[in-house]
Amino acid sequence: MKIAVCVKAVPDAAGGRRIDPATNRLDRSGELTLSDFDSYAVEEALRLVEAAGGEVVVVSMGPERAVDALRKTLAMGADRAVLVSDDALAGSDLLGTAQALAGALEREQPDLMLFGQQSADGGGACLWAAVAEQLRRPAISQASELTVEGGSVTGKRQTEFGYDTIRAPLPAVVAVSDAINTPRYPSLKGIMGAKKKPQETLGAGDIGGASESRTTVVGLDPPKARGDARIIEDDGSAADQVVEFLAGARLL
């Protein structure tokens, strides 16, 4: 079985994410890291392939620096990585991103295409649905359990009303939730081995070109403040301070 996992390299949360005032877009100039939510999809792909055999290919779109973030997926155990990177694709909206990923996936022809449940830097939780539409493949979203058997994939997902179990024939697109597994940490051997694994970079021309964004950013405003949040570091007295705070707010 060949599994493609679509992942995103996002600005490191620890470095502080900010909007670039010149472009009104997320500032991606700093260090990039694998979006946390995507590590669950990578882990699930590795488990499926470890059980049934096959190959895990990681597919991403982003600046060239994103290869460093992709290397983490290789260190976890993915076999190779494909990065779609082109200035013409910078600032792509949902449709542009979905088209680019769909183009890269077409080249790979995987049996199963996995996504994380959302991106860690504010992306919408719906990219896979646009990719599935473009590829004309069935899709299952927010799966917290996944089984592949007899040429079809079955996913269990939580909705606003309870749990749905959905089955679809392969090839299929599945987005997994962060409840599906606990992602492994790369081993030292994995980290060393990752450097030798194949990494391919594709340009817009390889995947059918770039498309104009259909959405725009008009401007930025500060949000309405909720009031002054107070943050304390526990030095052993945190519980006492919480009780004082609650008493002060007449909640005890």
Partner 1 sequence: MAGALVFLEHHEGAVTKGSLGVLGKAAQLFGGDVAGVVVGSGVREVAAGAGAYGASVVWVADDERLAAPLPQPRVDVLAKLVRDEGFETVLFAQSVLAADVAAGVAMRLGAGLNWDLVDLSADGVGVSPALADSVNVRVGWAGTPRLAVFRSGTFDPVEAGGAAEVRDAAVELEDFSELAEMVEQAHAEQQGPSIEDADVIVAGGRGLGGPESFSLCEELAKALGGAVGATRAVVDAGWYPYSAQVGQTGKTVSPKLYVAVGISGAIQHKVGMQGSGVIVAINKDRNAPIFEFADLGVVGDLHEIVPKLTELVQARRGS
Rounded distance, CA 220 to CA 145, Å? Answer: 39
Q: Of 165 and 187, which has the nearer Cβ to partner 1?
A: 165
Rounded distance, CA 63 to CA 90, Å? Answer: 8
Q: Of 71 and 155, which has the nearer Cβ to partner 1?
A: 155
Rounded distance, CA 3 to CA 185, Å? Answer: 20
Q: Site for partner 1 (CB under 8 A): how many residues?
A: 81
Rounded distance, CA 12 to CA 28, Å? Answer: 9
> Segment contacting partner 1 (CB under 8 A): 54-62, 73-81, 156-164, 189-197?
156-164
DSSP 8-class letter at 179: T
Task: State phi, psi for 204 to the nearest 5 degrees.
Answer: -55, -35
Tell me which residue has tokens 């620890």. 14
249 in contact with partner 1 (CB under 8 A): yes
192 in contact with partner 1 (CB under 8 A): no
Kindly state the smallest distance separating residue 125's Cβ from partner 1, in Å.
6
Q: Of 74 and 140, which has the nearer Cβ to partner 1?
A: 140
Please return the burial class of 159, using the count of CB atoms within 10 Å of its CB with bins 0-12, 13-18 and 19+: exposed
Rounded distance, CA 38 to CA 178, Å? Answer: 9
Kindly state the smallest distance separating residue 153's Cβ from partner 1, in Å.
9
Kindly state the smallest distance separating residue 197's Cβ from partner 1, in Å.
30
Rounded distance, CA 120 to CA 241, Å? Answer: 32
Kindly state the smallest distance separating residue 61's Cβ from partner 1, in Å.
16
In three-state secondary structure terms, 89 is helix
Strand partners, 154: 147, 167
The interface mask with partner 1, positions 202-241, x = CB under 8 A, is ----------xxxxxxxxxxxx--xx-xxxxxx---xxxx
Please return the burial class of 191, using the count of CB atoms within 10 Å of its CB with bins 0-12, 13-18 and 19+: middle
Q: Which of 22, 53, 150, 252 binds partner 1 (CB under 8 A)?
A: 252
Taking each helix axis from N to C end, the angle separating 127-135 and 94-108, rounded to the nearest 10 degrees, works out to: 50
26 in contact with partner 1 (CB under 8 A): yes
Position 134: which residue type? Q
Q: Of 133 and 200, which has the nearer Cβ to partner 1?
A: 133
Kindly state the smallest distance separating residue 29's Cβ from partner 1, in Å.
15
> Segment contacting partner 1 (CB under 8 A): 51-59, 83-91, 152-160, 192-200?
152-160
Q: Which of 142, 197, 204, 207 binds partner 1 (CB under 8 A)?
A: 142
> Segment contacting partner 1 (CB under 8 A): 44-52, 54-62, 154-162, 201-209?
154-162
